[in-house]
Structure 1
Amino acid sequence: MTVVVWIVEGTWPACVDAARVHAADESEIVLVHVGDEELPAVAHGAFAGLLGRGHPEQDPGTRVEQLAAESAEQLLQKAADRLGRPCSRIARTGHIEREVVAAAEDADLLIVARDGDRSRLGPKSLGPHSRFVIDHAPCPVLLVWPESTPALSSIPAPPPHPPHHPPHHR
């Protein structure tokens, strides 16, 4: 069994803990972090637009890419340490939600944390990236709360319905 664990800053401990609880000892665990390709591209573009292309060694986009890669490796190392058992680590860059779905292509389980409004139960507890991943995952998904689960009383009240009128008989 292959279990893919999506590692995201802020929510990764809950995903790792879920893997520790739900993945059998013989399971292969793959920790996946995806960096957003847009931030370095913005830095590259801003540099080229403002200062021209005469000094590529001064392009801040390159440094942003390096920092992102270092941050991903550190986060994956923390996750592996918390997991406390052998695992694979993959750092990817691209469209976050599509890269996560691609990483789960041959998985038997994908572990994802809620990344939206976590103060109450409901669909808004999923941000756009996790919603896409859940909707398009090629395998079962274990969806976890990064903190304690909100109370059932956090579910919004149902919308009002018009009064029911019995059908007219003639």
Structure 2
Amino acid sequence: MRAVVWLVEGTWPACVDAVRVHAPHAREVVLLHVTGPEVPGVAHGAFAGLMGRGRAWGQGPAEGWEADPGDRLEALGDGSAAELLDAAAERLGRPCVREERSGRPEREVVAAAEGAGLLVLARDGDRSRLGPHSLGPAARFVVDHAPCPVLLVWPGEAPSLGTIPPPPPHHR
């Protein structure tokens, strides 16, 4: 079985621990990190708006001309992803495949899970109570569209059963 583990800043340790416990005999563990286009894209757009769209990048007066900050943010993101993958591999403590993707995270995760025997991800929404709001939009999309079994973990201690929302009025 191939297990894919979606690593997200802040929740990745719980996912790595879960695959160690629930899939110790997986023949292959893929540690997956996806960098979304949002931050560099916003920086590219802001820079284009401030500097004017008619100029070619890197051309202009030598003094005061700045490089596109989106390029720098992309480089920082690549370094951060590599550090996260290194830390996750060390925590896993066994041979694994490290995979970096870029694009819409929810779609990249679903694509990476094709042919897998298990996909591990953490809840990314409201962690203070049980219920549907404990999944953010990206995790909800992945859970709804994953082409394999999904192991959904709490990135910390799960809230008590007393946090379950009451049933709707028509079900009481």
Q: TM-score, with normalisation over the residues of structure 1?
A: 0.91
Structure 2: distance between partners of 1:26 and 1:161: 45
CA offsets, 1:12-47, max 9 Å, x none?
000000011011335200000001112211111111
Look up the SS of the partner of 2:151 in the other structure. Answer: strand
Q: 1:162, CA displacement in angstroms? A: 8.7
Q: Larger Cα Rg: Structure 1 or Structure 2?
A: 1
Match for residue 8 of structure 2?
8
Report runs of 4+ in structure 1 exceeding 6 Å deviation: none
Q: 1:48, CA displacement in angstroms? A: 1.4
Q: 1:72, CA displacement in angstroms? A: 0.5
2:37 maps to amino acid = E
Structure 1, unaligned stretches of length 5 or more? 164-170
CA offsets, 1:146-168, max 9 Å, x none?
011111111012233499xxxxx
Map residues 56-71 of structure 1 onto 2, 5 A cutoff: 56=58, 58-71=67-80
Match for residue 166 of structure 1?
none
Structure 1: distance between partners of 2:95 and 2:14: 18
Match for residue 128 of structure 1?
137
Sort the Cα spacing of 1:100 and 1:54 in 2 relative to 1 into closer, same or farther, 3 A. Answer: same
Structure 2, unaligned stretches of length 5 or more? 59-65
Structure 1: distance between partners of 2:121 and 2:74: 25
Structure 2: distance between partners of 1:25 and 1:96: 27
Q: TM-score, with normalisation over the residues of structure 2?
A: 0.90
Match for residue 33 of structure 2?
33
Map residues 151-170 of structure 1 onto 2, 5 A cutoff: 151-161=160-170
Match for residue 63 of structure 2?
none
Map residues 107-146 of structure 1 onto 2, 5 A cutoff: 107-146=116-155
Look up the SS of the partner of 1:153 in the other structure. Answer: helix
Q: Percent identity at matched positions?
A: 67
Aligned residues of 2:3 and 2:26 also touching (Cα < 8 A): no
Structure 1: distance between partners of 2:26 and 2:165: 41
- The size of the alignment, in residue pairs, is 163
Q: Does 1:97 align with 2:106?
A: yes
Root mean square deviation, CA, Å: 1.6
Match for residue 85 of structure 1?
94
CA offsets, 1:77-125, max 9 Å, x none?
1110100100000111101100000110121100010000011110000
